[in-house]
Structure 1
Amino acid sequence: MANLLYRLGRFSGRRPWVVIVGWIVALGLAVGGLLAFGGTLATSFSIPGTETQRVNDQLKAAMPDLTGLSATVVFQSEDGAFTDVQKTEIGQLLTRVGELDGIVGTTNPFTAQAQRDQQAQQLADGQAQIDAARAQLQAAAGQLPAAQLQDATAQLDARAQQLADGRTLLDAASAIRTVSADGTTALGVVSFQDDLFTLPPAVKDGVKTVLDDARIDGVTVAYSSDIATSTDGLIGPGEIVGLLVAVIVLIVMLRALLPALIPLLSSLIGVGVGVAGSLAFSSVADMSSVTPVLGVMLGLAVGIDYSLFILNRHRKQLLAGVPKQESIGLATGTSGNAVVFAGSTVLIALLALNVTGVPFLGVMGTVGAACVLVAVLVAISFTPALLGLFGMRVLGKRARARIGHPDHVAREVRPMGTARAVGAVALAVVGLLVIAIPALTMRLGLPDGSTEAPDTAGHRAYTLTSEAFGAGVNGPLLVIATLPAPVAADDLTAAEAPLVRTLLAQDGVVAVAPVAASDARDVLAFQVVPQDGPSSVSTQRLVQDLRGLSPLDGDIALGVAGQASGNIDVSQKLADVLPLYLAVVIGLSLLIMIVVFRSLLVPVIATAGFVLSLFATFGAMTAIFQWGWLGGVFGVTNPGPILSFAPIIIMGVLFGLAMDYQLFLVSGMREAYVHGTPARTAVVAGLRHGRAVVTAAAIIMISVFGGFVFSHLAMIRPLGFGLAIGVLFDAFVVRMLLVPGLMHLFGRAAWWLPRWLDRIIPNVDVEGAALERTHHVG
């Protein structure tokens, strides 16, 4: 591999424009593929085989008109109750929305509330009529035949029972209002043709445009996150600042502007090809809106780092007097070889997400792996081409003046003190364990409007709805009852009433309302409004309680769907596969490290350090996003559960990056030990060898990932924070404190390997030492 990369590097350095133009053409093809074949990105998540999905499938079969997404539009008067003019303009606005393509219809809140009030009056009038009829019947009791009196009484009793059942339904739904009691807030409903998972972004964009352009004097308009959430703003000010910090780090490290542009250009080309190329397949594979963001984050971070490793090696060789073309080939064959191996570990970790059995996670992992693969290919071809194009300008003027004349004397390498090693290990382990404590209370869930940025329409709609109607209105449950036999049309209310009473009796239920019945009237649907929001503990407990009621007396089966129900199912599924994925990652870590370092103890140290940094990352995420610590700093206005798929994504990415840092630091220790340096001295030698470039690489990754912490997309912020803090813990605490300290304490034992295992393990020359010896460089 090293010799092949050496030849590729020399070719790229000698024919730079061929390689550069080739990558530009690849970028053009990727963008063209995206524009020609790109499909819809989902803003919600579904997992086949869950209870919520089963209920949704049943609804599609029994009541297909009920499966389209219903989103809310919140109107609030700024000066008391709505005026007649405001009511008219709100109705006209909703009418315009209803005329858009992909919209089934809209509900005028004032008309709906008037109809509900009218129904209540009709029930009251009906009861008065029955009472009057009973009085008349009693007055004429002595004048009517017994049979006629009995028949009239029976009819009145039947009518009274129908009214009582109707009153039961109306009272149970009394807390469900479309206009607040004080008349200052109203909830309109937009019914889409498609469901939450297949709704095209263009349809939502059309609705947003009409609502955003609306100007109703004295009225504030906001809409729920179902409409507001989109892929807009994937790259915002925070992400740009993170990228600028990465550029500053490159300039400081390389002490020149021009060479600092090489890793940046390489990463941008890689991100463009990887993300655009992947999204070109979004019409044939279900991709979530988070998928391209993960590709951008990984593409930028590893693209800059991998290019930096090769650039750094090339600059050192030029300073040592190696000819330019030879240096490009050697840098690609040595550091490029390490980049290929490091990238392979990230690829394996991301592709392993497919073993979870969760489709959208598997797609995210595959797209992320594709972007990392492109970053590796760009690093070993496009970067050498830029090195050849820039020539000696990759060094600053002062550095060029020192070529072949090093102005420093190598310092004597001494092993660290044992007391220092013990202190470093204790500090790292205790510190990470303390930070990991909050992870013991970590809850998983999916974001709702409360977690969006405060200045977004989704957050405003959630807040206004909670204040005027209660938090549960933001995430009502859909409960379906499957009857053992169809009921007659006249008996439908009588069949619904006892079910409504049962549902309303559950803890945490504010209101219940019948929604629809199947054509055969054997499947009934009810809207259940919980007391709290969809991501709350009480609502999740309510979902479990409702499912536990099934079957009811009479062999009536209950099923629950809705946002809270979906949150529970998705989170539980991911929590169930988390241990499996962790076992796969740990197993891969041990195997890879045994092959690379030809040791049993070094892989155990590396893997244990990864697990420590991982749980510390989860602890920090829980403290900030769930507990609300430092919420003002990170824009957490309403703490809630951790994004359900964040832990497993972070686990995969951090594993690959941890192995990268382990490789670049510990391989130098092994190289020194193999060449006769005492084991404890080799630890310091290896640390000095790779510390500077790993430090710069880690800071760059933290900057890039950290930029996404301030994204306007609620799902992106915890991912960006988790990856940034994870790299911080793993690079600076585990790899530079814990691992060297343990390697010192174990001494020669750290490199022990049974002879029988040594014979069967292939000899992997990760850093291309054989190539260096062949070309007499080192």
Structure 2
Amino acid sequence: MSTLLYALGRWSYRHPWRVVVSWVVLLLIAGSAALLFMKGTDNTFSIPGTEAQEGIELLDRTFPQASGTSAQLVLVTADDTHVSDEPYATAIADAIGELSDLDGILAVTDPFDEMVSGMVSDGGEAAIVRLQFDGQTTDVPAETKTALQDIAADLRAELPEGSRVAMGGDLFSISVPSLSITEAVGVLIALFVLIVTFRSLAVAWFPLVSAIIGVGLAIALIFVSTAFASISSTTPMLAIMLGLAVGIDYALFIVARHQDQVRAGVDPEESAARATGTAGSAVVFAGVTVLIALIGLAFANIPFLTTMGIAAAVAVAIAVAVAITLTPALLGLAKGRVAGWGHRALSAGVGRKRKAAKRPNRWVMLVTRHPLVTTLAVVVGLGVLAVPASSLALALPNAGVQPLSSQARQAYDLTAEHFGPGSNGPLIMTGTIVTSTDPLGLMDDLAAEVEKVDGVKEVALATPNQTADTGLIQIVPETAPDDPATAQLVRDLRALAVELEDEYGVDLKVTGFTAVGIDISDRLGAALLPFGLFVVGLSLILLMVVFRSIWVPIKAALGYLLSVVAAFGVVAAVFEWGWGADLLHVTRTGPVISFMPIILMGVLFGLAMDYEVFLVSRMREDYVHASRARRGRAERATAIGAVRSGFTASARVVTAAAIIMFAVFAAFVPEGDSSIKPIALGLAVGIAVDAFLVRMTLVPAVMALLGDKAWWMPRWLDRMLPHFDIEGAAVERELSLADWPEPDTTAAVVAEDLAVSADDITVFRGVALRVEPGESLIVTSSDARTSTALLLAIAGRLEPTEGRLRVAGHLLPGRAPWVRAHVGVASLAGADDPVAELRDAVRGGTRLVVVDGADAIAPGPERDRAAAVLRDAAPVTVVAAASDPAAAQSLLAEARRPHADVLDLDRSTSTLTPEVNA
């Protein structure tokens, strides 16, 4: 990975305008496609497999006039008047007539109709005109929504002064998020932090430009996808918020590494390549962790949430791609002008390279001198901060959380004031009654049973449909739609439905907009534990792969959990308890949006791993170097010194990244949409807590407590886990061996002290060889598996455990992907058609081929054809393995390769045949 990124960074630096123009063209194409094909977002929440969704589907088939979305016009008279008085009665009648003529409206319920109840308040000072639509919210034409607002405005103008009229209901219960000037303030804060961090106006723009281009492309693709998928209105805003934060941070990590290297005297082009290969590797790793966590939102098995996670993951993936390509391209435009104020870029080979001899950071010195006190203080403090999380309640957003200026919010408040809070979220029980001989009597009996349930204010309607095969009971709860008591009422009604089925033979289902929201909240709540286990388990595995340690991942996972519960606690304190609600413009306290916890857990996981990797990887790097300097003798003081030096080297960039992320997320809180506010607040608090209290305080304290034990891992586990080059070790190795075996070597294959081991068994070791282009080499051993292993190592299929190996100028194992793509492999022993196997190996202009079992073909026509394949493939270089070297030499001689050297792996492999040594 790191070597590929190194090459990509160099190419982008050398061709900056190609990269910049390519991204701009992609952005323009995606933007044009969005304008042509987008169909708008969809705020219809559905959850397949739940009772509420099954009830809606039943109503769609048998009671369509009751299955669609609804709205309601709320009218409150002036003081000491009644809605049946004039001019109210006439005005209501006229409004009903206008509403009935609108497109998409199936039914308009007259509040004075004797067949319905509860549409006129007990005091007669308020009335509700209920509207039923054909289809869900997204099916209602925009013109109809505008006409509804206009009719309400006209009615308000006609009535006496002091009267109040508002249009609301399910149709207007969810607002569409939009950007405000406050979000721009967050970007400006990010720019200020970048200027201070880089001490350069020019360089400070690079992360912002990268992030904005990435976010623009992601949002355009999201809107294009609305043409064939259902996308909620919250999705683009989440993608903007997340894409901006990670886009700025990912570019920041690469630019910061580049600037440090240029200040130390590295050539700018070489520095850009190295920064992309090293910091870019960490960026890819961090991006992958965020992607996995976001895609893991599918654990909840809720379609709109899965779509939201995928869309946000696309934004993050684009941010990674832009960071590792556009960032080095922008650095290519800047050339050497990146050092910043007060620094002089030193040219490679001319200026003196300055050593990074920094004083240890004062904060880390304090933390590591008193690690136990620090650990206890952080854990206890975050535990106290998490206390409010125990009262965190979840619900889907409704009009009650919209701004007071919203018509939907005014309608919600007026309905709650004059008809009770439950009138804003009526429930529906429906079921098949086709077997009943008295459908009207049956519905009356069922209504009487339902009215006995605690929490039911009244049954507003109990009726069969026109064909008398489906019944519908409309229930008004005593409590608001997002009140936990309403969720309990839904559960009680479902328990009652079981009893009613036994007694009346009717299988009733509880449904409606409110019931759907409760089902979504319940399923999300149930998904939190498995999702949490998935995220924590993933973090343990990924960090064990990166750091080759047991205690570092455990400490990181526990720190992540502390950050999550602390963020939950702050959100609950603001949105449930009302602490600071006015300051943050929270218009109504109560349950937060249902998918806040799972989104916060997923996003914060990826960002927490970013900080963990960038901080602890430098600590590990310093520890390994110090340990090597002491010839493998590590002690507690060495480990603590590495914690301090690693923290000092990485604290600046991590601090800047955390402040930027906090600013971006916090900017969405004061004026943000009600759905986004709790998510943005939770992420802002989570970032601040995780970066400054957990990663930069708790982590060094715990690492100091553990000392050298922090880097312990059982050998069996170390062998089992794959290796991931997070800090670009392959790049550093390539740079250190750039002139091996000599500058601009011509060797097709060259190895020195090469070894391969598997399961603590050494297959071979100490192998040295050199093969020039067009030459041949025969490898032999009494154990055919040994020579096969050497051939697979040369072909990039098997990773060497020791020594050096360069194939076609590419150093292994770092360049193994290129070698695998360009080196042919033919295994002739046991092949059904050895000649076809050999022909496939040399196909495509391959310049190097390894042939295992070169002695497997007996003399005769088949060997003649095999020799012809090799002869026609000249000037291919051949490395062959054979138990009988003479037979292999005979095959190569027929292929006009008479001077094939022999390497006998049974001998001391540090001394080769004279021909090979030559």
TM-score category of the 2 structures, normalised to the smaller one? 0.7 to 0.9
Task: State the one-letter code of the partner of 2:724.
Answer: V
More displaced 10-residue stretch of structure 1: 544-553 or 666-675 = 544-553
Deviation at 1:5, TM superposition (A): 1.4
Q: Is this contact kept in 2: 1:113–1:179, CA < 8 A?
A: no
Q: What corresponds to 1:193 in structure 2?
A: 134
In structure 2, give the amino acid aligned to 1:753.
M
Alignment-derived partner of residue 181 in structure 2:
237
Q: Which residue of 2 aligns with 1:150?
A: none
How many Å separate the matches in 1 of 2:507 and 2:169?
32
1:616 paired to 2:557: no
* Mapping of residues 317-332 of structure 1, within 5 Å: 317-332=261-276
- Aligned counterpart, 2:820: none
Aligned equivalent of 1:48: 48
1:769 matched residue in structure 2: 729
Which deviates further from its counterpart, 530-539 or 510-519? 510-519
User: Partners of 1:206 and 1:345 in 2: how far apart?
Assistant: 47
Alpha-carbon separation, structure 1, partners of 2:285 and 2:434: 61
Q: Which has the larger radius of gyration?
A: 2
| Contact 1:89–1:216 under 8 Å retained in 2 | no
Question: What does residue 299 of structure 2 align with?
Answer: 355
**Counterpart in 2 of 1:268?**
212
1:188-587 pair list within 5 angstroms: 188-196=129-137, 199=140, 204=145, 207-208=148-149, 211=152, 216-217=157-158, 218=161, 219-224=163-168, 226-228=170-172, 232-400=176-344, 410-411=358-359, 420-483=370-433, 485-487=435-437, 491-514=438-461, 516-550=463-497, 551-552=499-500, 553-587=503-537
**Once the 2 structures are TM-superposed, how far is the Cα of residue 745 of structure 1 from its aligned partner?**
0.3
Q: Offset of 1:759 from its aligned partner?
A: 2.9
- Give, in whole Å, the separation in 2 of the partners of 1:212 and 1:516: 33
Question: 2:302 corresponds to which letter in structure 1?
Answer: V
State the SS of the aligned residue for 1:513.
strand
Measure the CA separation in 2 of the matches of 1:207 and 1:252. Answer: 52
After TM superposition, the structure 1 stretch with the greater mean CA deviation from structure 2, 373-382 or 574-583, is 574-583
Structure 1 residues 76 and 331: alpha-carbon distance in aligned structure 2, compared to 1, 3 A threshold? same
TM-score (norm 1): 0.86
- Is 239-248 or 526-535 further displaced after alignment? 239-248
| Conserved 8 A contact 1:349-1:585 | yes
Contact 1:453 1:712 (8 Å CA) reproduced: no
CA distance in 1, matches of 2:292, 2:679: 20
| 2:683 matches 1:733 | no
Q: Secondary structure at the match of 1:304?
A: helix
After superposition, the Cα gap between the structure-2 partners of 1:295 and 1:408, relative to the gap in structure 1 and judged at 3 Å, is closer
Tell me the equivalent position of 1:102.
104
| 2:576 aligned partner | 626
Q: Would the alpha carbon gap of residues 732 and 573 (structure 1) be closer, same or farther in structure 2, given more than 3 Å must change?
A: same
Q: Percent identity?
A: 42
Give the distance between the partners of 1:581 and 1:39, measured in 2 at CA. 32
Deviation at 1:77, TM superposition (A): 4.4
1:722 pairs, out of 677, 682, 688, with 682
CA distance in 1, matches of 2:591, 2:429: 24
2:873 alignment counterpart: none
One-letter amino acid of the structure 1 residue matched with residue 131 of structure 2: V
Gaps of 5+ in 1: 120-169
Whether 1:4 and 2:16 are equivalent positions in the alignment is: no
How far residue 506 of structure 1 moved from its aligned partner, in angstroms, is 1.8
More displaced 10-residue stretch of structure 1: 503-512 or 211-220: 211-220
What SS does the aligned partner of 1:506 have? coil
Indicate conservation of the 8 Å contact 2:426/2:474, yes or no.
yes
Cα pair 2:280 2:324 within 8 Å, conserved: yes
- Aligned ranges 1:127-166 → 2 under 5 Å: none
Q: Out of 698, 715, 718, which is 2:658 matched to?
A: 698
The 5 Å alignment of 1:70-89 reads 70-77=70-77, 81=81, 84=86, 88=90
The 2-side partners of 1:560 and 1:509 are apart by 13
| Alpha-carbon shift at residue 717 of structure 1 (Å) | 0.8
Q: Residues 495 and 233 from structure 1, CA distance in 2 versus in 1: closer, same or farther, beyond 3 angstroms?
A: closer
Residues 1:486 and 1:634: Cα distance change in structure 2 (over 3 Å): same
Equivalent in the alignment of 2:19: 19
Q: CA deviation at 1:225?
A: 5.5
> Deviation string for 1:214-271 (max 9, x for gaps)?
7615454422263435664421133222222222222222233322211111111001
Quote the Cα distance in structure 1 between the aligned partners of 2:472 and 2:367.
71
Q: Which residue of the partner structure matches residue 746 of structure 1?
A: 706
CA distance in 1, matches of 2:166, 2:569: 35
Asked if the contact 2:37–2:224 (Cα under 8 Å) also holds between the matched residues in 1, the reply is yes
Question: What is the deviation of 1:319?
Answer: 1.4
Q: Distance in 2 between matches of 1:571 and 1:513?
A: 26
Q: Which amino acid aligns with 2:694?
A: V
Residue 37 of structure 1 corresponds to which residue in structure 2?
Answer: 37
1:351–1:362 Cα contact (<8 Å) kept = yes
Structure 2 residue runs without a partner (length 5+): 628-637, 738-918
Work out which of the residue numbers 167, 177, 185 in structure 1 matches 2:119: 177
Q: What is the Cα deviation at residue 42 of structure 1?
A: 2.2
Q: How does 1:627-666 map to 2 (within 5 A)?
A: 627-666=577-616
Q: Structure 1 residues 514, 221: closer, same or farther in 2, change over 3 A?
A: closer
CA distance in 2, matches of 1:181, 1:270: 57
Confirm or deny: 8 A CA contact 2:368 2:700 kept in the other structure.
no
- How far did residue 763 of structure 1 move? 3.1
Q: CA deviation at 1:505?
A: 1.9
Amino acid corresponding to residue 723 of structure 1 in structure 2: L
1:418 positional shift: 5.6
| Residue 700 to residue 775, structure 1, CA distance change in 2 (3 Å) | same
Distance (Å, rounded) in 1 between the aligned partners of 2:65 and 2:657: 54
Change in 2 beyond 3 A, CA 1:35/1:95:
farther
Contact 2:415 2:421 in 1 (8 A): yes
Cα deviation digits, residues 526-546 of structure 1 (max 9, x gap): 211111111112222221221
CA distance, structure 2, for counterparts of residue 379 and residue 450 of structure 1: 41
Mapped contact 1:208–1:227 kept (Cα < 8 A): no
User: What TM-score comes out, normalization by structure 2 length?
Assistant: 0.73
* Residue 743 (structure 1) shift: 0.6
Q: 2-side partners of 1:229 and 1:113: how far apart? A: 21
Report the residue type matching 2:532 in the other structure: L
In the aligned structure 1, how far is the partner of 2:152 from the partner of 2:732?
A: 65
Displacement of 1:187 in angstroms is 2.2
Contact 1:415–1:683 at 8 Å: present in 2 too? no
Say if 2:262 and 2:338, in contact at 8 Å, map to a contact too.
Answer: no
Secondary structure at 2:111 match in 1: helix
1:245 partner letter: I
Partner of 2:28: 28
Q: Distance in 1 between matches of 2:144 and 2:322?
A: 37
2:712 is aligned with what amino acid?
A: W
Q: Report what 1:123 is aligned to.
A: none
Deviates more, 1:361-370 or 1:194-203: 194-203
SS at match of 2:225: coil
Is residue 225–residue 459 contact of structure 1 (8 Å, CA) maintained in 2? no
Q: Give the distance between the partners of 1:95 and 1:257, measured in 2 at CA.
A: 64
Residues 765/759 of structure 1: CA separation in 2 closer, same or farther (3 Å cut): same
Q: Aligned partners of 1:20 and 1:243: how far apart in 2?
A: 22
Task: Summarize deviations over 1:185-206 as a string: whole Å, max 9, x none.
Answer: 3323333221246556675456
Q: Is the 8 A contact 1:514 1:525 kept in 2?
A: yes
Q: Which residue of 1 aligns with 2:111?
A: 113
Cα 1:642–1:233 shift into 2, 3 Å: closer
2:715 aligned partner:
755
1:554 Cα deviation from its structure 2 partner: 2.6
Q: CA deviation at 1:727?
A: 0.8
